Structure 1
Amino acid sequence: MPLVRNPILPGFNADPSIVRVGTDYYIATSTFEWYPGVQIHHSKDLANWDLVVRPLSRRSQIDLRGEPDSCGVWAPCLTHDGEKFWLVYTDVKRKDGSFKDTHNYIVTAPAIEGPWSDPIYANSSGFDPSLYHDDDGRKWFVNMTQDHRGRPRTFSGIALQEFDPIQRKLVGPRKIIFHGTELDLVEGPHLYKRNGWYYLLTAEGGTGYTHAATLARSRSIWGPYELHPQKYIVSSRDHPFAALQRAGHADFVDTPDGKTYLVHLSGRPIGQKRRCVLGRETALQEAYWGEDDWLYVKNGPVPSLDVEVPGTRDEEAYWKEIRYDFRDGLHKDFQWLRTPEPERMFAFENGKLVLTGRESIGSWYEQSLVARRQTHFSFDAETVVDFSPEDERQFAGLTLYYCRYNFFYLAVSAHSDGQREIQIMRSEASWPDAKLTDVGENAYFAGLPAEGKVKLVATIRGSELQFYYALVAGDGQQQGKLQKIGPVLDASIVSDECGGHQAHGSFTGSFVGVACSDLNGTEKKATFDYFVYRPAHDATDRYAV
């Protein structure tokens, strides 16, 4: 069979849950504060994946306004019971400190494209829920639980309770069936059944470099569960030079011909500081069942960079330049932040994107920011903006964005006297203050004519970022050469490791896109003609597909 190179879903695609329905495979991944919620990709051959739907797309299903960075939609679980799809997810309102406010919901759909139902509330006792459909027709809800006292652990174990689809609620006793291993931070549970055994697959060790997937089994769904002979069936924690790091949070699926594959999250660090600018990505491993009825990862537990799959990947598509116009609205590659009311953020006029200036780029409520995932270590981004700010509190432009604490922003703004200018704003791991660096005399500014379009360009080569700009005539033609603005910046700042939170606390990935703010509250609008994402072959892409 042909080889495919991991990750199969590059860029921020964390916490994968996989299901097969007939000959179709689907993977659901976390989206956190990005809207709409949950990404579901489809494949026929395990090699080529296409984003088909983001099912949490209206206010009745999810409203993320006010939620901190890396909260929101965590660890969805996608299953099918023979009649319809079931999607279980957590809406996290707070995660830092002693308390975690985590609300768990269930939605269903007759087909993967929908329509997806309004949610059924399940519980708030923990996060990372999953739903298991037993062969006797009963349904079981599984999630981690938390104890804010830390007695004996904050992550206090995996809980099981029956879900009644008729009553649309959890019923009967709830019991902790697995406490995890000494690696701690047990979460992400999935249940399976095979040859009379119930198998419980969990994630442990946090989401950093000690992450792992732990397997246990029992003859009874209530336990007790015995550990796998290896304990951890996939992990890179003892192998710092493995190509795929942070391996864990897994799920497995059988093919029609009886093979088994495991999907798991992973990260690909760059540079001596080992920063994962692409966030946590989805990788695939071939697995097999041993004579002892345990599942083993082929050549594991360290994940392989290349894996045999039934299909052959379209390599040219991965390296293809994408030029987005807005004649048909917003392309599916793009998302926005938190709000279920995108009409307050953006609209489309004459094939162009019009952003309405709202709150700052660091807001947790309403910010006009539309962006796509960074999926390559090296790439160029380009746009043309038409914006007429009146003062320094109005700005719009091109952004490389991780969260409110970590971003770079090439923006058209104005001086307090109304003179239009272009500037670089940046916030670099300045938590908890989230202050801009290089402001005042040390900022990077350039004067602009009072009116007219401006081309904005960012080139990223591994950890190096350089901004450029040029004036654009009324006919759309660039006037003169691109001009550098500012020095080479450290693009690796826009990464999980610099997300402004404690260890295991930043969960998304780098996005690149456009934004507009009006801190005066006058709703100043910015018009963007197009957006270009151009992958670049570069030595820093040493693990590129």
Structure 2
Amino acid sequence: MSLIRNPILPGFNPDPSIVRVGADFYIATSTFEWFPGVQIHHSRDLIHWRLAGRPLVRPAQLDMRGDPDSCGVWAPDLTHAHGRFWLVYTDVKRYGTTTVDGATGVSLRDFRNYLVTCETVDGEWSDPVFLNASGFDPALFHDDDGRTWLVNMLWDHRPGHGRFAGIVVQEYDHATGALVGEPRNIFPGTDRGFTEAPHLYKRDGWYHLLVAEGGTGWNHAAVMARSRNLFGPYEVHPDGAVLTAGGRREGALTRAGHADIVHLEDGTPWMAYLCGRPVGDSERCTLGRETAIQPMAWGADGWLRTVAGDAVPDPAPQSPLPPAPWDEAGWDGGFDGPDLPAPLQWLRSPYPERLLSLTERPGFLRLHGRDTVGSLFEQALVARRQTDFAYRAETRVEFEPRDFQAAAGLICYYNSTKFHYLHLSRDGDARVLQRMTASPESGAVEMVVLGELPAGPIELAVEVNGVTLRFFWRADGGEWQAAGEPLDASILSDEATLPGLPNFTGTFVGMACQDMSGRGTPADFAWFRYAGRG
């Protein structure tokens, strides 16, 4: 047997939903404000995973312009029934926490829940069906009598009420493609609080409800309850959490929770779940929330537990399946085709043609200067996930800014309040190299001019080693030079934040271009290379 190295989906890949179809396993994860929406990975041995597709690619399916940081697509749920794949997801349009004299006040949030379907994971998914907006984390349960039910957490904005107001269920009518009947609250949650991420399963006449509780930080946990009746009452698992890191802030896998269950062909249960890994000796997870998986066991009492019975995440379980690696060549960093390479994504907009082109200058990625790097609407920022605690990334850019309002370069980005950005711009008659940092610790965006640049293409690089980040630059064919002092890489994490803001994503590294004059001055990138170092 071969060992599974957890996390199986490193870097920003949270909120896994797993399904098996024959010998094939598929996991869908959240993408939040990154476009296209939802990542679906595919495996045949639980060890080797490849990106099979991002289904939400059209404006009719997803338009996140204006969505706040860490909003957009939350917690997709992927199932297979009636000969089709079913994907439900939330597009969060407003986070909306307010405080009055230090106390939490009314928290109005906008959650739009949708359903799309397709016969194949990598096919063209349907236009969305609007389901409801009562809360987030929607999931479908296909009962053995042919009926389908939508479950989601209920949001209660009223002061004095618990915002996480329980789990509701409502029937989905296949004939009309709409929800029918009234929603029923089937589970209030436990004292851990923050009850969310519901999934329903049926086994031996029992309805098993799996939820996440404790918040998405160190006390995150997967909790189960069961009932003989779909609508309850549900009794809570006698052991408490089924899987949790128990508040630990160190170790191989922390922040474990938000899970889903799949059964192998022999009936063995496995759990895919969210986890985090602090960088170095810090308590910050720069890779964001990742996906892990491990075997579980149904006990003689009918309850699900970890194999060891300790509810602890396993960093290296054994796969019971024969190895099935994918025979696929990785991206070499070039821009030789008409389509954006699979590792790369952009922010919010369903209209990439306004942001980028791979055909206007063949062999280059052209970014058109758009909004500022803090914009929630139209950013020309194309990047990939940081998947290693240590890495080096490089790019080569050709860019002739007309004035100080235009900039282009290499960026390490978490969100609009947390980034390090090395870029070319103009100061008077000189083309200059600048560095901009947005830090949640200072609450400010700081910019320094590092010096004038020679004419011609410029290569930019970044090296990250744990909590340390360093930028470099060189003229085409010249020697690498340090671009300023070392910087703090750990601010690019969930845990470093301004008060009251959601932080649910992870660090990206890539290319960006702005032109605040509105002229759309383009920057041409010849390549982008990323090499992990552990």
Which TM-score band (shorter chain)? over 0.9
Match of 1:543 in 2: none
- Once structures 1 and 2 are overlaid, which stretch shifts more, 71-80 or 161-170? 161-170
Match of 1:466 among 464, 470, 477: 470
- Once structures 1 and 2 are overlaid, which stretch shifts more, 27-36 or 251-260? 251-260
Once residues 314 and 78 of structure 1 are traced to their aligned partners in structure 2, the CA distance between those partners, rounded to angstroms, is 22
Match of 1:519 in 2: 516
Change (3 A) 1:298 1:444: farther
- Once structures 1 and 2 are overlaid, which stretch shifts more, 252-261 or 524-533? 252-261
Q: Say if 2:384 is the partner of 1:372.
A: yes
TM-score by length of 1: 0.93
Once residues 148 and 516 of structure 1 are traced to their aligned partners in structure 2, the CA distance between those partners, rounded to angstroms, is 39
Once residues 271 and 207 of structure 2 are traced to their aligned partners in structure 1, the CA distance between those partners, rounded to angstroms, is 17
Report the Cα offset of residue 167 of structure 1.
1.0
Match of 1:447 among 437, 446, 452: 452
Once residues 462 and 316 of structure 1 are traced to their aligned partners in structure 2, the CA distance between those partners, rounded to angstroms, is 30
Report the Cα offset of residue 430 of structure 1.
5.6
Q: Decide whether the 8 Å contact of 1:48 with 1:312 is kept in 2.
A: no
Match of 2:226 among 211, 217, 241: 217
Cα root mean square deviation, aligned: 1.8
Report the Cα offset of residue 502 of structure 1.
3.2
Tell me the alpha carbon deviations over residues 146-167 of structure 1, each in whole angstroms, 9 at most, x when there is no partner.
1111443111000011010211
Match of 2:491 in 1: 493
Tell me the alpha carbon deviations over residues 163-194 of structure 1, each in whole angstroms, 9 at most, x when there is no partner.
10211111112111001111101000000000
Change (3 A) 1:492 1:240: closer
Q: Decide whether the 8 Å contact of 2:48 with 2:326 is kept in 1.
A: no
Once residues 480 and 36 of structure 2 are traced to their aligned partners in structure 1, the CA distance between those partners, rounded to angstroms, is 35
Q: Decide whether the 8 Å contact of 2:433 with 2:452 is kept in 1.
A: yes
Q: Decide whether the 8 Å contact of 1:389 with 1:418 is kept in 2.
A: no
**Secondary structure of 1:486 counterpart:** coil
Match of 2:189 among 169, 180, 199: 180
Match of 1:429 in 2: 440
Matches within 5 A, 1:310-349: 310-311=320-321, 323-328=332-337, 329-348=339-358, 349=361
- Once structures 1 and 2 are overlaid, which stretch shifts more, 387-396 or 136-145? 387-396
Change (3 A) 1:315 1:141: closer
Structure 1 segments of 4+ aligned residues over 6 angstroms from their partners:
312-318
Match of 1:86 in 2: 86
Q: Decide whether the 8 Å contact of 1:47 with 1:311 is kept in 2.
A: no
Matches within 5 A, 1:397-436: 397-415=409-427, 417-429=428-440, 435-436=444-445
Q: Say if 2:228 is the partner of 1:228.
A: no
Once residues 414 and 306 of structure 2 are traced to their aligned partners in structure 1, the CA distance between those partners, rounded to angstroms, is 33
Change (3 A) 1:9 1:317: farther
Change (3 A) 1:279 1:313: farther
**Secondary structure of 1:343 counterpart:** helix
Match of 2:399 in 1: 387
Q: Say if 2:287 is the partner of 1:282.
A: no
Which AA in structure 2 matches 1:366? E
Q: Decide whether the 8 Å contact of 1:287 with 1:298 is kept in 2.
A: yes
Tell me the alpha carbon deviations over residues 334-387 of structure 1, each in whole angstroms, 9 at most, x when there is no partner.
000000000000001221100000001110000100000000000000000000
Which AA in structure 2 matches 1:412? L
Match of 1:36 in 2: 36
Which AA in structure 1 matches 2:495? E
TM-score by length of 2: 0.95
Matches within 5 A, 1:1-20: 1-20=1-20
Q: Decide whether the 8 Å contact of 1:389 with 1:414 is kept in 2.
A: yes
Report the Cα offset of residue 100 of structure 1.
1.2
Report the Cα offset of residue 3 of structure 1.
1.1
Match of 1:357 among 347, 369, 375: 369
Change (3 A) 1:317 1:395: farther
Which AA in structure 2 matches 1:246? R
Q: Decide whether the 8 Å contact of 1:47 with 1:312 is kept in 2.
A: no
Once residues 441 and 340 of structure 2 are traced to their aligned partners in structure 1, the CA distance between those partners, rounded to angstroms, is 32
Once residues 323 and 251 of structure 2 are traced to their aligned partners in structure 1, the CA distance between those partners, rounded to angstroms, is 23
Identify unmatched segments of 5+ residues in structure 1: 473-477, 538-545
Once residues 270 and 367 of structure 2 are traced to their aligned partners in structure 1, the CA distance between those partners, rounded to angstroms, is 43
Q: Decide whether the 8 Å contact of 2:394 with 2:528 is kept in 1.
A: yes
Match of 1:53 in 2: 53
Match of 1:95 in 2: 95
Q: Decide whether the 8 Å contact of 1:47 with 1:310 is kept in 2.
A: no
Identify unmatched segments of 5+ residues in structure 2: 98-106
Q: Decide whether the 8 Å contact of 1:323 with 1:533 is kept in 2.
A: no
Report the Cα offset of residue 322 of structure 1.
5.4
Report the Cα offset of residue 390 of structure 1.
1.7
Match of 1:261 among 251, 265, 270: 270
Report the Cα offset of residue 297 of structure 1.
1.3
Once residues 522 and 208 of structure 1 are traced to their aligned partners in structure 2, the CA distance between those partners, rounded to angstroms, is 43
Q: Say if 2:259 is the partner of 1:237.
A: no
Q: Decide whether the 8 Å contact of 2:249 with 2:278 is kept in 1.
A: no
Q: Decide whether the 8 Å contact of 1:141 with 1:162 is kept in 2.
A: yes
Q: Decide whether the 8 Å contact of 2:441 with 2:496 is kept in 1.
A: no
Change (3 A) 1:208 1:502: farther
Report the Cα offset of residue 273 of structure 1.
3.4
Report the Cα offset of residue 316 of structure 1.
12
**Secondary structure of 2:267 counterpart:** coil
Which AA in structure 2 matches 1:340? P
Matches within 5 A, 1:246-257: 246-257=255-266
- Once structures 1 and 2 are overlaid, which stretch shifts more, 339-348 or 231-240? 231-240
Once residues 87 and 325 of structure 2 are traced to their aligned partners in structure 1, the CA distance between those partners, rounded to angstroms, is 31
**Secondary structure of 1:492 counterpart:** helix
**Secondary structure of 2:495 counterpart:** helix
Once residues 350 and 313 of structure 1 are traced to their aligned partners in structure 2, the CA distance between those partners, rounded to angstroms, is 39
Report the Cα offset of residue 237 of structure 1.
2.3
Which AA in structure 2 matches 1:132? F
Change (3 A) 1:321 1:197: closer
Match of 1:540 in 2: none
Once residues 162 and 321 of structure 1 are traced to their aligned partners in structure 2, the CA distance between those partners, rounded to angstroms, is 43
- Once structures 1 and 2 are overlaid, which stretch shifts more, 169-178 or 362-371? 169-178
Report the Cα offset of residue 258 of structure 1.
1.9
Match of 1:542 in 2: none
Q: Say if 2:214 is the partner of 1:205.
A: yes
Match of 1:475 in 2: none
Q: Decide whether the 8 Å contact of 2:220 with 2:247 is kept in 1.
A: no
Match of 1:126 in 2: 135
Which AA in structure 2 matches 1:305? P
Once residues 263 and 25 of structure 2 are traced to their aligned partners in structure 1, the CA distance between those partners, rounded to angstroms, is 10
Q: Decide whether the 8 Å contact of 2:441 with 2:497 is kept in 1.
A: no
Once residues 273 and 384 of structure 1 are traced to their aligned partners in structure 2, the CA distance between those partners, rounded to angstroms, is 33
Tell me the alpha carbon deviations over residues 206-259 of structure 1, each in whole angstroms, 9 at most, x when there is no partner.
100110011000000000000111121011124444321110000010011221
Match of 2:180 in 1: 171
